[in-house]
Amino acid sequence: MRVAGAAKLVVAVAVFLLTFYVISQVFEIKMDASLGNLFATKPPRYKCGISKACPEKHFAFKMASGAANVVGPKICLEDNVLMSGVKNNVGRGINVALVNGKTGEVLDTKYFDMWGGDVAPFIEFLKSIQDGTIVLMGTYDDGATKLNDEARRLIAELGSTSITSLGFRDNWVFCGGKGIKTKSPFEQHIKNNKDTNKYEGWPEVVEMEGCIPQKQD
């Protein structure tokens, strides 16, 4: 009986020590996690969610083309979403936002259907853009079928390089300006290619971010 009692005591002590060890380990892990959260610093957030802060006298922007014919494009400038599906101001074709190059004030947002629409209103719109205006463009679904040489030339004059080769259901985002003297560095273009498309009939979404120099007098 004494042997059995001693054995029970040993087992009880072993269980107690094991339980104490497990609890202490869990408590230590939680303490480490709590201390880590306490002293961890959150990474900084920059305007429009871009990867780094823009220098003074620059406007931060981020934009994305549409995803197939399901999700519309998005254009953000200085933490202000100018166009998006949530704002319900985007549509099939080429989506355009005009911004005052000095103040960053939004002047206009429009979209032009380049599949079933007419290119003439788009041409008139492009001709009406004033010098010093920042122009941001993004495609949704198809932005090229109704484009003609005149429309492509007017967009090229805003600083675009890829507009001459923009094709059916290509994804394209562009930021340029009226009166620009050089080609814009802000342009991304992905061709519609059945062998590389991410979606059936459409390439993957194209995104772009950067810092636009503020127009100086």
Mind listing the pLDDT tens digit for each residue in 64-107?
A: 999 888 899 999 999 999 999 999 999 999 999 999 999 999 99
Q: 59-76: b or e for each residue (b if 16 or more CB lie within 10 Å)?
A: bbbbbbbbbbeeebbbbb
pTM over 0.85: no
Q: Convert the pLDDT of each residue in 139-149 to its tens digit.
A: 999 999 999 99
Whether the CB-CB separation of 161 and 55 falls below 8 Å is answered with no
Which residues are CB-neighbours of 184 under 8 A, at least 6 positions away?
158, 159, 160, 161, 174, 175, 176, 177
Interatomic CA distance for residues 164 and 149, integer angstroms: 8
Instruction: Output the CA–CA distances (angstroms, integers) from residue 95 to 66, 136, 140, in the order listed.
Output: 10, 8, 7
